[in-house]
């Protein structure tokens, strides 16, 4: 009996400690959100010190010997399914974090703040040489991290695991190889098609205030709770969940291009809906956390593309868009608008890329990150390598660094290994969406009437509220009945191309 009480006590103490650590982490996230939305330029060094201190405290608490002792005791005990999942995932993260020296954790946190400020300024000036010293520091820190964590085959594997547990460079290479040639062939057919889209509609004047209003309407319509979240402006769009009742999204506005902000908001709304769908009572534990970044991206890509770029969504939403932009959209039919927002053509900016070319943008970054981690590519040579791969995969050359190598915030924040999760997200999203159609019936008829709650409820039940009960691979099998495949994504892209480009 005392053994059972001891087990119950150990589990209770573990959960209490995890929740306190998560509160510390959420405080750090507030500082991070503020850094990217409100921070005065001269405050960067102080904020770097603050976040470095928070990272130190969190690392100390999470890697304390008592957590390892509780885990060892619990692993030899009879536990229910919830407790088993919490112990399993905490052990995985604990075993990784104890390998990382406190000094490295602090330095990574400090450098990432300074580097992000440096990146933002360098991007404004389109000056890669101003950012290069920061990126060199980040690459060296990530090489140190990979060495501490260890890896069987490729140093990149150690970084991938942080974002997509269990993922490997070799497997992702196979994924991209299964997509690359079919995508290139499809893009070629679209290019040769005589059917063109009226994409210029998106490049008319769209006043920022009206864009913001419409984007907020769209986020609310699909289910985002603005009483438990915010929408603000930042250099690079992002979403962060600070805890139950507090999910922050950002976007950026271009008065002369509609797609950037609107679809960016729908993308971040997908992340926000996942955060708001996690069970509040499990906050701080694996059961109250997202499975992986790939699964998280599946939610953002689903709402942005499979819902937001569908014709049925605009059957419902086009009157609202015309009300927001009466002069700009005068005479524009729903059909023309649908074809315009689904225009396929190579472009410079990843976050503005269409569904078909998007994964080639990710392939560029995936290959460059591997090269930096094997040190076969120096930071100084990165702009040239970037441009070369853009020509190879997309047939275009960026005119400047801002629309090339400096466009993403990820590397400045230390997110090497993050980019492949976007492609995984696209794959997960389309496979989940096919299953949702099977379970829920005619989704298009629902969307056309503004009924998005059935899909959101399905996602809440099947994915959000599961937390980390399953690994990403297991979750896909549980939800869809089969392993992850590229075929649903390719089928979706081919069907849309056939519809719009008659190929």
Which residues are annotated as catalytic? 268
Distance CA 280, CA 285 (A): 10
The candidate with the shortest Cα–Cα distance to 67, out of 40, 87, 50, 41, is 87
The beta strands (E) that lie in 188-227 are given as: none
Q: What is the 3-state secondary structure (H, E, C) of 103-164?
A: HHHHHHHHHHHHHHHHHHHHHHHCCHHHHHHHHHHHHHHHHHHHHHHCCCCCHHHHHHHHHC
Residue for token digits 């534990």? Answer: 285
DSSP assigned state of 307: I
349 CB-near residues (< 8 Å, 6+ apart) = 403, 407
Helix extents (H) in 325-441: 334-341, 355-373, 382-394, 420-440
DSSP state of 353: -
3-class DSSP state of 239: strand
Place of tokens 């009300």: 323
Rounded distance between C-alpha atoms, residue 453 and residue 432, angstroms: 16
501, 190 Cβ separation under 8 angstroms: yes
Is-contact 294 425, C-beta < 8 A?
yes
């Amino acid at each position: 009996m005392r053994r059972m009480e001891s087990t119950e006590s150990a589990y209770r103490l573990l959960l209490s400690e995890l929740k306190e650590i998560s509160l510390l982490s959420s405080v750090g996230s507030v500082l991070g959100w503020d850094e990217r939305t409100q921070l005065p330029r001269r405050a960067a060094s102080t904020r770097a010190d603050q976040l470095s201190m928070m990272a130190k405290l969190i690392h100390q608490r999470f890697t304390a010997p008592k957590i390892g002792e509780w885990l060892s005791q619990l692993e030899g005990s009879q536990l229910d399914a919830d407790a088993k999942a919490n112990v399993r995932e905490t052990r995985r993260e604990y075993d990784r974090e104890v390998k990382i020296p406190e000094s490295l954790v602090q330095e990574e946190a400090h450098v990432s703040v300074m580097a992000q400020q440096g990146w933002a300024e360098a991007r404004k000036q389109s000056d890669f040489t101003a950012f290069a010293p920061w990126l060199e520091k980040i690459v060296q820190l990530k090489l140190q991290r990979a060495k501490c964590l260890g890896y069987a085959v490729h140093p990149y594997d150690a970084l991938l695991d942080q974002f997509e547990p269990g993922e490997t460079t070799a497997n992702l290479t196979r994924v991209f190889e299964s997509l690359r040639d079919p995508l290139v062939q499809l893009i070629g057919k679209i290019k040769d098609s005589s059917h063109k889209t009226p994409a210029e509609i998106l490049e008319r004047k769209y006043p920022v205030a009206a864009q913001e209003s419409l984007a907020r309407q769209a986020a609310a319509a699909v289910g985002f709770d603005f009483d438990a979240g915010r929408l603000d402006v930042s250099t690079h769009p992002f979403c962060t969940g600070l805890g139950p009742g507090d999910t922050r999204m950002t976007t950026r506005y271009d008065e002369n291009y509609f797609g950037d902000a609107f679809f960016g908001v729908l993308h971040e709304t997908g992340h926000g809906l996942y955060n708001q769908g996690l069970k509040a009572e499990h906050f701080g534990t694996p059961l109250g956390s997202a499975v992986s970044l790939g699964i998280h991206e599946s939610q953002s890509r689903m709402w942005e593309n499979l819902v937001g770029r569908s014709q049925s969504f605009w059957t419902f939403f086009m009157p609202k868009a015309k009300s927001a932009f009466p002069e700009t959209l005068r005479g524009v039919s729903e059909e023309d608008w649908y074809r315009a927002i689904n225009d396929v053509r190579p472009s410079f900016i990843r976050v503005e890329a269409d569904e078909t070319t998007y994964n080639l943008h990710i392939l560029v970054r995936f290959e460059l990150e591997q090269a930096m981690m094997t040190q076969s590519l120096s930071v100084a040579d990165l702009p040239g390598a970037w441009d070369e791969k853009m020509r190879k995969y997309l047939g275009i050359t960026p005119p400047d660094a801002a629309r090339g190598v400096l466009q993403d915030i990820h590397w400045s924040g230390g997110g090497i290994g993050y980019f492949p999760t976007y492609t995984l997200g696209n794959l997960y999203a389309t496979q989940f969406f096919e299953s949702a159609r099977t379970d829920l019936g005619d989704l298009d008829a629902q969307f056309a009437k503004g009924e998005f709650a059935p899909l959101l409820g399905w996602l809440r039940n099947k994915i959000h509220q599961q937390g980390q009960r399953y690994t990403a691979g297991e979750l896909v099998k549980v939800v869809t009945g089969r392993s992850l495949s590229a075929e649903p994504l390719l089928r979706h892209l081919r069907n849309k191309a056939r519809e719009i480009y008659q190929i």
